[in-house]
Structure 1
Amino acid sequence: MKRSPLLRKLRFFLRRLVAEQIVLVLTLLFCVGATLTVVSVWQLSEQLIQSQAQQNAATSVQNLQMARTLYSDSVVGRIREQAGITATHDYRNIAGGIPLPATYFIELGEQISSNQAGVGVRLYSNYPFPWRKETGGARDQFEREAIAFLEQHPEQTFANVETFANRLSLRYAAADVMKPSCIACHNSHPDSPRRNWQVGDVRGVVEVIQPLDSLVQKTQWNLVGLLGLLLTLFILGLSGLVIAIRRLNNISQNLELEVIERTADLVNANQELLFEQEKSNSLLLNILPPKIARQLKDGSKPVADGFGNVTILFADIVGFTKLSESYPPRELVDLLNEIFSAFDNLCESLRLEKIKTIGDAYMVAAGLPEPREDHAAAIAEMALAMQRELMKINVAKNINITLRIGINSGPVVAGVIGKKKFIYDLWGDAVNTASRMESHGLPGQIQVTESTYELLKNQYHFEPRGAIEIKGKGKMQTYFLQ
């Protein structure tokens, strides 16, 4: 009895020390988390700003080139033979003069540059005409590198973010490729610096300069606001945590007095826990294959394996969406439950592994988690049986819905990932291809890939569908299982 107050004081001191350590750790974690968040958001913002700026610059270059092409073909090309009208760079000093396409393009870029602060448009080349010798060539390192790169890779673009005219800007350059309508003029003009131009040659470079500093500044202010919000939330959360810890300390002191009284209750709770564990084990075996369930209970990580010979089936109910428009929700769910329950019974009888259902889609596989030689034949039997079951339900319910089924065979990885609401799932190209077989199939048909066909061609009758275009796969030879 004499040591009891001393023990209480010792426990109180230890709890207080632990609480202070928790607050310190949380403060450090917040600082690290806030820093990582701000850095990540900043990097993402920079990427988005540069990506959007490049898209805008690409659109500007395309529009400028289209404007020049339209001017060259629809204006200069139509009036070239008209008496008294001359296309020349010095059109302002010549009666009846109109600007050459390049002159028109250059002056259009100058107008854009003068009307939009920080924005610039340039046309430059290694072969400027004499009257543009001082302004038409490369003026800095970026322009020299752009010409050198685009002469080797005219189909690509050249861009860089740098300080230009004291502003952080995106400099975006694209090749100015010689068009058929320009060849004759450039090869015959008396002042042309080059007379052997061919279609597709890089005549020069079109550059668009787009300032980024205002967008970056806005992003910085947004980050400051984000940091302030995080700090406010942390202070509020930390204050609540401190209050909660103090309250918990008081509660824990009272709970110590009730430990003896709760001992008997714990015995009963342990018995109930054993009962719930049995229920949980039963539920787990209903959700996952026994082998996978054992691995989960044993704590094996990761719960995943590779399987070289597996056949996967995807089935989708065609007409279910339209049927849902006329069916009450409860009856619709009952109908879907009846259909999938019938499919589940087929899985059990054929010793297949049901993977999951998504809406009105059904996925099943054979050859895992226990390998089997007849995996393709088992899935083929499943597909045919599913069609028969759905026909029975159609007759019984006086409805008309069909299945679109896709099958593929190949290697997969199967297992369980995550901590909550986990399921036994499959990954791999063979799974994606099976899904494509379903989505690119026909209502009422069972479409299989060539790999499945090769495994079953001597056991079942198939109708060749021929080569079809499959999204993400290209042309594929497929067959209908009859």
Structure 2
Amino acid sequence: MSAVKILIVDDMRIISELIASLLNELNEPFQYLFAMNGKEACKMAHAARPDLVIMDWEMPEMSGYEALQRMKKNDALKDIPVIISSGFTESENIRLALEAGAIDYIRKPIDGIELIARVRSVLALTSAYNKLREQTVLLNHERQRTHNIIKGYLPESVVKEILNDGFVKPRRYKEVSVLFADLVDFTTTTNSMSPKCMFNELNSLFPAFDEIMHYHGCEKIKTIGDAYLASCGFPEAEPLHAVKLARAAVDMINFVSLRNKKHPTRWRLRIGIHSGDMFAGLIGRENYHFDVFGDTINTAARMQQHADPMQINLSEKTNELVRDYFKTIERVPLKVKGKGVQKMFYLYRPIVDTEFYHQSFDEHPLVSIVMPNGQ
């Protein structure tokens, strides 16, 4: 147990030593510091950070009352408890000292029993306050840790709504774009990996995808095994939802391409994007699960399934929304499960003379565009 530091401030050293001798009756490991005036007290408090200050009111150069006011205005010193000792016995002086921030007031001549009782009370209160402050810090740390864990399962906007309102209202979101990304041959690639190695791979990919989504104003919804689901236009409406999500998709491809040059495990992505409406909300009563539903989700998944590796496959609807910002390549229409024959388009490259391109693409660290194979 470290010694409690007590700063005793009085312009008469004999009084300071008397106070120290009286406090020794508590049989506590006190460490005493001494100052002769308020100015010295402030300097010593800065340097030593005492646990308690017992300070006379009337002193040369700077009074104890002035020093108290100065300490309480200083963020580093304001929480140090100060007991004012004084020959002033009027209630007005006591009121001024307490209003200035003193935790207690002792009249001179000092009574030993009263001094010990007041110091014991102040130190007990200070100890309880310090424990409460430590618990608050730990609680805030755990709250942030819990928040970070929840963010791994729920979109940031959903986490904020839960923390603010205590629930999430199911909603229908109109005019959003949805992205599905899948790691090609994930099972085959990871069969020979240790569990730690496999999760290290995923933890080097998905957090990067999260950052890309955040940069482009998009929202990760969830991961499903080795698949990554994200959207734009949710939860806040975004007129350029398809364009922003397409830009994010390009950067996902770019990131994987750049990573493959420096890493022995080489991944390939298939990405599909569709635009439309979707429903979103929490499922469950005790173990909450956030999910999205609707034809837009299913169609985006189908677009991903029909993409070649390292390609971004757009539905006809999404292609209409991005054609002023990207050049696309129309593919041969394909029969899609549950959808019939569908037109599809590969994202080719941005139209560089658009204002939108110059504002954002040039600023992004992953700006090099990966062209479709054979182009």
Q: 1: CA distance between counterparts of 2:325 and 2:179?
A: 18
Question: Which of 262, 284, 288 pairs up with 1:396?
Answer: 262
Q: Aligned residue for 2:346?
A: 480
Q: Does 1:311 align with 2:190?
A: no
Q: 2: CA distance between counterparts of 1:307 and 1:442?
A: 29
Q: Aligned residue for 1:337?
A: 203
Matches within 5 A, 1:65-214: none
Over aligned residues, Cα RMSD in angstroms? 2.6
- State the Cα distance separating 1:397 from its structure 2 match: 1.4
Q: Aligned residue for 1:442?
A: 308
Q: Does 1:467 align with 2:333?
A: yes
Q: Does 1:425 align with 2:280?
A: no
Q: Aligned residue for 1:411?
A: 277
- In structure 1, the gaps of 5 or more residues are 1-263
Question: Which of 190, 194, 197 pairs up with 1:324?
Answer: 190
Q: 2: CA distance between counterparts of 1:324 and 1:477?
A: 34
- In structure 2, the gaps of 5 or more residues are 1-127, 349-375
The AA in structure 2 aligned to 1:437 is M
1:413–1:379 CA distance, 2 compared to 1 (3 A): same
Normalising by the residue count of structure 1, what TM-score does the alignment of the two structures yield? 0.42
Q: Aligned residue for 2:65?
A: none
- State the Cα distance separating 1:421 from its structure 2 match: 4.4
SS in 1 for 2:261: helix
Cα deviation, 1:406-433, whole Å, max 9, x if unaligned, reads 1000011122222344344211110111
- State the Cα distance separating 1:274 from its structure 2 match: 6.3
1:278–1:467 CA distance, 2 compared to 1 (3 A): closer
Q: 1: CA distance between counterparts of 2:334 and 2:149?
A: 43
Q: 2: CA distance between counterparts of 1:291 and 1:398?
A: 36
Cα deviation, 1:99-155, whole Å, max 9, x if unaligned, reads xxxxxxxxxxxxxxxxxxxxxxxxxxxxxxxxxxxxxxxxxxxxxxxxxxxxxxxxx
Cα deviation, 1:251-288, whole Å, max 9, x if unaligned, reads xxxxxxxxxxxxx9xx9698565664454345445654
Answer yes or no: is the 8 Å Cα contact 1:308–1:410 preserved in 2: yes
1:468–1:397 CA distance, 2 compared to 1 (3 A): same
Answer yes or no: is the 8 Å Cα contact 2:161–2:168 preserved in 1: no
1:334–1:314 CA distance, 2 compared to 1 (3 A): same
1:279–1:387 CA distance, 2 compared to 1 (3 A): closer
- State the Cα distance separating 1:297 from its structure 2 match: 3.4
Normalising by the residue count of structure 2, what TM-score does the alignment of the two structures yield? 0.53
Answer yes or no: is the 8 Å Cα contact 1:303–1:417 preserved in 2: no
In the alignment of these two chains, the number of paired residues is 217
Q: Aligned residue for 2:248?
A: 382
Answer yes or no: is the 8 Å Cα contact 2:155–2:220 preserved in 1: no
Percent identical pairs in the alignment equals 34
SS in 2 for 1:384: helix
Q: 2: CA distance between counterparts of 1:285 and 1:318?
A: 26
Answer yes or no: is the 8 Å Cα contact 2:232–2:238 preserved in 1: yes
Q: Does 1:366 align with 2:229?
A: no
Answer yes or no: is the 8 Å Cα contact 1:310–1:367 preserved in 2: yes
- State the Cα distance separating 1:302 from its structure 2 match: 5.1
The AA in structure 2 aligned to 1:409 is S
The AA in structure 1 aligned to 2:280 is A
1:402–1:306 CA distance, 2 compared to 1 (3 A): same
1:290–1:356 CA distance, 2 compared to 1 (3 A): closer
The AA in structure 2 aligned to 1:332 is M
Q: Aligned residue for 1:47?
A: none
Cα deviation, 1:134-181, whole Å, max 9, x if unaligned, reads xxxxxxxxxxxxxxxxxxxxxxxxxxxxxxxxxxxxxxxxxxxxxxxx
- State the Cα distance separating 1:467 from its structure 2 match: 1.6
- State the Cα distance separating 1:344 from its structure 2 match: 1.4
The AA in structure 1 aligned to 2:231 is A
Answer yes or no: is the 8 Å Cα contact 1:296–1:303 preserved in 2: no
More helix by share: 1
Computing the radius of gyration from Cα coordinates, the structure with the larger value is 1
Q: 2: CA distance between counterparts of 1:335 and 1:286?
A: 17
Q: Aligned residue for 1:92?
A: none
Q: 2: CA distance between counterparts of 1:333 and 1:293?
A: 24
Q: Does 1:452 align with 2:318?
A: yes
